[in-house]
A and B are shown apart, each in its own frame.
Chain A
């Protein structure tokens, strides 16, 4: 018994050390991302403006031709597919990313991503050590929830990078939030490692909370893209209307993907997790049915999960309602993510209810 206790304490200390180390490396990554953006500002790109002011007919007519010949023998390749933005959409090309095509910037960007991978692994180690020290899943209180959440968020980001999605530009924003999240975790929210009360013992809990965390991480990426979309869209609107945005705005915006791409990416991300979020709520209801004798009781946490769900349903509806696409739908998406955040921080800290009995 005492021996087990000692190892647990040892693991808990190890976890703390790893979390602090991860924070240190994240900080390095943060500076590397900053360097990427700074060096990127040296290059002058004006793709958006040129695309918006170029002659429109250029993009429309000519059919593509499809065969390449190598030497004398004809090598038949598949016909080439030409894409064209849907009628009405702007044909703005995506920006090159934070480095803005600058070689040094790109180098720092790569360093930043490598550091992110490293700190992700360290933080993951910290989360696993914590789980081992308490011999359960690492989400019994807000401290553990925070460290797990940031790990998963970074994991989602790296996963999207690995899938070759155009998301490297999110890095700086993400690492900033991760540092804030971890800072909050180790100062305000820190809770010594401990086990769960019996009501929290259930495999439905594991399913429910792990999907909730994963959904949150993905929704976070969606929300950042939505935010970027709103800025980029304003920028493009200004350009299209003949306005001249400031130098800083131009420098940043030119490096982001086109507003249409951002919007599409945000939609895809949000839509992709929506069924999982639905499942999360249902898993929670099943767990509540087993633990409390009713599957739905309008407990504040349940209520806010429901509100979040309805808000995202609103967003998806808005996307297919005339007059609500684009910016209005984007605002709804941001409100919906706000609901998710409130459900986590707001309800735990200010409202209470049955869910808060695991200690803050």
Chain B
């Protein structure tokens, strides 16, 4: 064949190694398991026999034909590429448009602000992109494609492992790396030496006719398959985790405890397939919460440490153990993880009735409103209280608490710093019916003032007071008093999460990384060593290497192998062809591929 420039171009438009080159023959076949793009017509047309039978067989043929066409398309590299592209494109809107899952309030604000766009986005599922129909469709198709790709490739790979490297192509000098020399050793010896050298380098080698054929680097394909299988494992683990996960929140005041049953949670969410029996039995109590904060600089007030000291026990009657939970260090109990998510203050108050009898004494958790832990809540005395007239009644106090008060006369009840530097509790008071006995769940942080009467001062204005620890506010008319005790407790909010399958997800991702490394760093390559007796009776050794991708390592490796074989079959020294002065002419012009020439 003529080896002109245009010829070179046309013979290999895209497939570097498809063996179409007459000189290469089968040499490059099966060097990977990438699917070969074959044109498959959809309709097969064909003749249609008359009558119902003909129609049935024609239809069946067509349906199967189309189904196969569709499957081929779906599992082709081209479509995999397209789906990957769509996946990344589809993920974008979810990062730019507020999502219900992470910030429902922002979504509402967006809906309120955009009267036209809002409903449209909602219809398109753009407020929950990652669980929307179209996003799911993309990744499900991608993973069907992936599985459809893995199965045949795995089969092909097993076949390749069993088969032996193909025979040497006719013209070795057309391969990307090539070496030759003439030797006195006879061809048999050269092949023997080649087999040995290649074997020692862990090539799979065998002799076909006048040449040794060898191959190495099957781990590349193995790694690639492991990687793609690991992707499937990760996806399944992720889906599994979503279906069976549970997530509950619980606020615990110092000294109080929690046991892991549904009724104890403040709020609880779970996946579709979760059942209550899936909750891991354990209990813990909060001994102490510690928070420290930056005292100086521009970031004054930002938290420095958050930690909660717990005593916990596994199972229903487990032994008690002590531990510390920090923001980044959840407590692992079986399948459950206990996270520290927030904290606040719980001032202790004592409420006495008109006779001085204590009717309420407890730490009342209040909810933080800002980063300096200005807190708000309600103190509710539900039973045991009798008013001045001796009738049973309930008491309610609206409470605002600041850990660091700005100082008398300096503004309002907003905290200046998150630590307990100058705590002040502001109260107002009600009596009557708290409305908590009706059997409906009520918000413990807020008073339902419908059936409550607010206490008034003697001068008729609303009764309220700012207390420092130890101070007492008297309720007028012999209704008793409320004392802000010296002891101010803290509370910690815990999130208890159970997400099965995360072990599988982690295992899958580790496998994916190793598979990927194998797939990208290992080179699958073939080496041939041909030894023939030339016309003048001298043995000509020719070596050539071919890799899946062009690699700079290939020529280096070929050089090393050639050196090994050369030791056993050295160059014929009195060979006129080996005149060093002729060398430059003999070596064809080659591009200076880095590292290609051995120095």
Q: Which chain A residues (255-294) contact chain B, with CB distance < 8 Å? A: 258, 261, 264, 271-272, 274-275, 278-279, 282, 285-287, 289-294
Contacts of A293 in B (CB 8 A): 247, 330, 337, 339, 341, 495, 497
- The chain B residue with its CB closest to the CB of A320 is B34
Contacts of A339 in B (CB 8 A): 88
Q: In this assembly, does A187 line the interface, its C-beta being within 8 Å of a C-beta of chain B?
A: no
Smallest beta-carbon distance B521→chain A, Å: 8
Q: Which chain A residues (298-313) contact chain B, with CB distance < 8 Å? A: 298-300, 303-304, 306-307, 310-311, 313
- CB atoms of B181 and A65 under 8 A apart: yes
- CB atoms of A64 and B304 under 8 A apart: no
A79-B179 contact in complex given A271-B520, A320-B34, C-beta closer than 8 Å: yes
Q: In this assembly, does B420 line the interface, its C-beta being within 8 Å of a C-beta of chain A?
A: no
Contacts of B34 in A (CB 8 A): 320
Contacts of A322 in B (CB 8 A): 14-15, 37, 77
A76-B328 contact in complex given A64-B180, A94-B592, A194-B298, C-beta closer than 8 Å: no
Contacts of B593 in A (CB 8 A): 83, 261
Contacts of B560 in A (CB 8 A): 78
A198-B13 contact in complex given A80-B598, A264-B550, C-beta closer than 8 Å: no
- CB atoms of B174 and A84 under 8 A apart: yes
Q: In this assembly, does B102 line the interface, its C-beta being within 8 Å of a C-beta of chain A?
A: yes
- CB atoms of B81 and A321 under 8 A apart: yes
- CB atoms of B95 and A275 under 8 A apart: no
- CB atoms of A83 and B591 under 8 A apart: yes
Q: In this assembly, does B277 line the interface, its C-beta being within 8 Å of a C-beta of chain A?
A: no
Q: How large is the interface on A (under 10, 10 to 19, 20 to 34, 35 or more residues)?
A: 35 or more
Q: Mark A189-210, 1 if CB is under 8 A from B, else 0.
A: 0001011011101101000000
Contacts of B3 in A (CB 8 A): 56-57, 60
Q: Mark B578-591, 1 if CB is under 8 A from A, else 0.
A: 11101101111111
Q: Which chain A residues (81-99) contact chain B, with CB distance < 8 Å? A: 81-89, 91-94
- CB atoms of A314 and B81 under 8 A apart: yes
A311–B174 Cα distance when bound, in Å, is 36
A88–B176 Cα distance when bound, in Å, is 12
Q: Mark B114-125, 1 if CB is under 8 A from A, else 0.
A: 000000000000
- CB atoms of A80 and B520 under 8 A apart: no
Contacts of A91 in B (CB 8 A): 589-591
Q: In this assembly, does A59 line the interface, its C-beta being within 8 Å of a C-beta of chain B?
A: yes
Q: In this assembly, does B421 line the interface, its C-beta being within 8 Å of a C-beta of chain A?
A: no
Residue from B8, B238, B562, B570 in contact with A296 in the complex, judged by beta carbons closer than 8 Å: B238
* Interface segment, one of B394-402, B475-483, B508-516: B508-516
* Interface segment, one of A19-27, A29-37, A67-75: A67-75
Smallest beta-carbon distance B251→chain A, Å: 16
Contacts of B8 in A (CB 8 A): 56, 87-88
12 A-B residue contacts at CB 8 Å?
A57-B4, A61-B173, A63-B586, A64-B583, A69-B580, A79-B559, A82-B178, A83-B590, A86-B550, A91-B589, A275-B513, A295-B499
A: residues with CB less than 8 A from B are: 5, 56-69, 74, 76, 78-89, 91-94, 164-166, 192, 194-195, 197-199, 201-202, 204, 258, 261, 264, 271-272, 274-275, 278-279, 282, 285-287, 289-300, 303-304, 306-307, 310-311, 313-314, 316-318, 320-325, 339, 347, 351, 353, 359
B: residues with CB less than 8 A from A are: 3-5, 8-9, 11-17, 21, 32, 34, 37, 77-78, 80-81, 84-85, 87-88, 91-92, 94-96, 99, 101-102, 129-130, 173-181, 238, 247, 294, 296-299, 302-306, 326-330, 337, 339, 341, 495, 497, 499, 502, 505-506, 509-510, 512-513, 516-517, 520-521, 542-543, 550, 555-556, 558-560, 562-563, 566, 570-571, 573, 575, 577-580, 582-583, 585-594, 596-598
Would you list the 4 A-B pairs with minimal beta carbon distance, nearest first?
A88-B12, A78-B563, A310-B88, A300-B95
